[in-house]
Amino acid sequence: MTTLPSSNLPHLDARLRAAADFVRPGAAAADIGCDHGKLSAWLAGSGRCPLVFACDLREGPLAKARATCAPWGDRVRFRLGAGLSVLQPGQVQDIVIAGMGAQTILEILDDAPWVRDPAYNLVLVPATKHSVLRRGLVRRGFALQAERLCRAAGRWYAVMNARYAGTPAEPDGLFCLCGRVEGQPGADEYRAQQMGKLKKYRRGLPDGPEAAGVDALLKEMEAGRWP
């Protein structure tokens, strides 16, 4: 099938473009929670992926994705269902999960134990609670390979690239908050955003061991430390 010129590809916002950059050229990919299907269409239409599975829990978004991806025919296949339950192990090599909360992303990974294999390249774009996702990944034995900061709607987002490393660990609190973004454009502003959230969390805590731990972490951040 002939690929249309790149000028006809859908426009990706900063978050989706960063996610696309983490997808390995030549890999079959899954776009979990594909919504409008723009990322699926871009991956297939640009030639980056020979096959893309556009997956969503709801029929409405999947219908939009079918329309968006129509020019690329059978290079995009569609799956209606929850998380990774719509795929078989080995059907794809790269998995994008974007636009969901951290806990939902972790639940999707927990429900598909076959992704605990370094062969799978995970691209994760949490809508909320970045620190929760980083902590959850490390506790499950995933290693955070890289991150890309993106700004949207006045907020900073982190696009994360992870693979299974096989060794669960308890991550450092500073790593959970700031991740691997030091030196990137906007890193200091992102750090300030994360510190503001931590201060808000601290105000709701009674004095005790947990509060003392948060206070110590805030001192590290105020001193300018990075993971």
| pLDDT of the residue at 2 | 41
Angle at which helix 38-45 crosses helix 14-22, to 10 degrees, equals 50
| pLDDT of the residue at 155 | 82
Q: Which residue has the tokens 């927990």?
A: 110
Q: Which residue has the tokens 């269902």?
A: 81
Write out pLDDT tens, residues 151-199.
877 888 899 999 999 999 999 999 999 999 999 999 999 999 999 999 9
Is 144:160 a contact under the CB 8 Å cutoff?
Answer: yes
Integer Cα distance of 176 and 169 in angstroms: 12
Integer Cα distance of 40 and 49 in angstroms: 9
Token pair recorded at residue 99: 């636009």
User: Helices (H), strands (E): how many in the chain?
Assistant: 8, 7
Integer Cα distance of 142 and 131 in angstroms: 14
Long-range contacts of 3-7 (CB under 8 A, 24+ apart): 3/45, 3/46, 3/47, 3/72, 4/45, 4/71, 4/72, 6/45, 6/46
Q: Which residue has the tokens 């991740």?
A: 179
Q: Is 24 helix (H, G, I), strand (E, B) or coil?
A: coil
Helix (H) or strand (E) holding 212: helix 209-222
| pLDDT of the residue at 5 | 45
pTM, whole model, 2 decimals?
0.93
Angle at which helix 187-203 crosses helix 209-222, to 10 degrees, equals 160
Q: Is 76 helix (H, G, I), strand (E, B) or coil?
A: strand
Residues of the chain with pLDDT under 70: 1-7
| pLDDT of the residue at 71 | 94
